[in-house]
Structure 1
Amino acid sequence: METTTGRRERKKAATRQALSDAAWRLFSERGFDQVTIAQVAEEADTSIATVFKHFPDGKAALIFGEEHERRTAFQSALDQRAAGTGVLIAARDFLGTRGASKPDPTPEFRRRLDLIMGTPVLREYARRMWICCEDLLAEALAAEAGTDAAGTDAAGVGVRALARFALEAPSLAGLEPHPRQALDAIFQLLETGWARTAAQR
C-alpha cells in the first residue's frame, strides 16, 4: 500500500511539474494574458480536465507552489524560531527569503518574479497565497501574547489585524525599488506601532 501510495504521489507531482513547466514556457514567450488553459494542456500533452484536476484555481495557480506547502513552510519557520526571537520577527525573516525579497535570485527566478509583478492577476494571486497563512500567524501571535486569536475583545481583534497587515507586506514591498528594505521598514512599523513612530517625528 505504501509503495502504491508513494508511486501515486510521485506521478501526481510529476504531472503538476510538467503542467507548471509548460505554462511557464508559454507565459514567458507570449505573456500571461495571451495564453489559455487549452494551450497549456496542449503544450503539456494532456487534457484541460487534467489541468483543472491539478490546478483547480485556474491559470494563475500554474506557476505557484501548492498552498499547503507554503503553509507548512511558514508554520515551521514560526515553530522553529530561535530562542528569544519574537513571532513577528520570525515571520519577517521568513518572508525575507521569498518572492521579491529573496536574496541572490537566479535569472530564472527573476524572470518569473518579473512576470508575476508585471501581471495584476498573478500579483493578486501571490498576495492571496500569503493571506492564506493569516490564521497560523494570528494563533502564534496570540500564544506569544497570552490571548485568544479567536477572541472578540480588543486583544483578539488586534492579533488578527496584525497578522493580516504583516502578510500584506510582501505584496507591498514587492512594488518598491528595494523590496527587502521595504519589507524591513513595514515590519519595523508593525513592531513599534504608528503612534510611537509619529511621536518621534
Structure 2
Amino acid sequence: IYEKCLSLGIDITKDYIPVAPAAHYLCGGIKVNLNGESSINRLYAVGECSCTGLHGGNRLASNSLIEAVVYADAAAKHALSMLDRYEFNHEIPEWNAEGTVTNEEMVLITQSMKEVNQIMGAYVGIVRSDLRLKRAWVRLDMIYEETEDLFKRSKASRAICELRNMVNVGYLITRQAIERKESRGLHYTIDYPHAKK
C-alpha cells in the first residue's frame, strides 16, 4: 500500500490517503429479477449497482457479500443457460481510422477524466440539490462536446473510449437524479428531503 500510494505522489508517512465515497451515486439504481436480469435484454446487473430488494425497501443496493454472491451465481448460471440461443455476428469490419491522427494530446483526455470525477463527486455525490445537478449537467455537456470533437479527430484508444463512457454514464446518472423528486436511501437531495411520518 505504501509503495502504491508513493507511486501516486502520496506519502502516507506524512499525508492521509484521500478517500471519497463518489461511487455511491450509482448505488442500487438498476432493478433486476431473480436471475440478475435488468429490463434491457441480455444485460445483467449484480452487486452495488443493482436493486434486488433482498434487504427491504430502504436497502437499495446489493452491497452485502452474501447478496452479491447469490446474484452473481444466479446471473452466471442463467447467462450460460441462454448462450446457445444467441447468434453472434462474426463479420464485423476492422476499425477504419482513415482521416484521423494519432492522439498526442493525452493531457486533454486525462484532464477531462479528472474533471468528470470532480463534477460527479462534488455535484452528484451522496448529497445533491437541484442547483448542483444543473451545474453538473452544464459542465458535463461542455466536456461531452470537447470529447466528441477530439474522438472524431483521433485514432481510437482505450483512454478516449473510457472518457466517452465516463461522460455518458455521468449524463445518465445526472439525468436520473434530476428527474427524481424524492429522497430514498443514498439518493438524498436537499430539495426533496425524506417525507415526515
Instruction: Give the structure-2-normalised TM-score.
Output: 0.28
More strand by share: 2
Greater relative CO, 1 or 2 (CA 8 Å, sep 6+) = 2
* Higher relative helix content: 1
